[in-house]
Structure 1
Amino acid sequence: MVTLPEEVAFIWRRPKILSSMFFLVNRYLALVGNIFGLCIDFLPAVSDESCSRYMLVRELFLFLQQIIVCLTLTLLIYALYDRSRRLLSCMMIIGLALIGGASAGSFGNNSNVATYVQGSDCHNTLTEETAIRQ
């Protein structure tokens, strides 16, 4: 809210370019994601299935926000280095490899090793061994 007057003056009143679109998507996707995350934190105890879906949506919000930030910074570096296509191609290859690794780690077969404790909040997750002990 503090920077809203500057946002209106420098973003909303000017023609939309790629950098301003990334800025707007990043700003408001983060706002919606944080509101959603706050709502999840105050949910009463829910079933494992519902909790798993809520946490997946929260992870997707964070994942999309990270991609938008990476694209914005890539655009900035591309502009700073005088639009070097060689640098841009290297950054894109590295970025695609990182996105692939993050996707495999976040949504792969080993991503569901956490167990939700019944009767607790949705954000309390434990490993399977710890959940069995409790």
Structure 2
Amino acid sequence: MPSSRLQAKARTSQLVSTYGVGSIYPAAAESYLVCGIDEWDEKNCAPVPEPRLAAALGVEVFRQPPASGRGRGIPVLRFPEWYYCPKCRALGPYWKLGDKKSGRCRECALELVPSRFVACCPAGHIQDFPYFRWLHRAQGV
């Protein structure tokens, strides 16, 4: 799944704490998953000199997140992909329910809301909640 660039701004302190790698970043009526540092543009991430901590953790260097307005920023993915409409109560993948440019429901033109239910495994993988499988589990789907 290709990453996108979020136009919302997050402070550097937020990117190393609250909204770090793997976190869900809320932006207006949308939300995004912050990609791993292997997806970041290293040229825009200044090194942070901490030789003792680096030696203790067995790494060569620490890097700070890119500063706002410099380069490409932090790569993100739309997550969750499932949204719902508070008016017509439709639930489904974002691209099926809404207009990608406006983020509004195709049926009633109300702004779509991200589903706040997600599923995680013990290994830390995250996915949209499997609504269809959960609702139809008695049929063996």
Query: Please, what TM-score do these two structures have when normalized by structure 1?
Result: 0.20
- TM-score between the two structures when normalised by the length of structure 2: 0.19
Whichever structure has more strand as a proportion of its residues is 2
Structure of greater Rg: 1
**Larger relative contact order, structure 1 or 2 (CA cutoff 8 Å, min sep 6):** 1
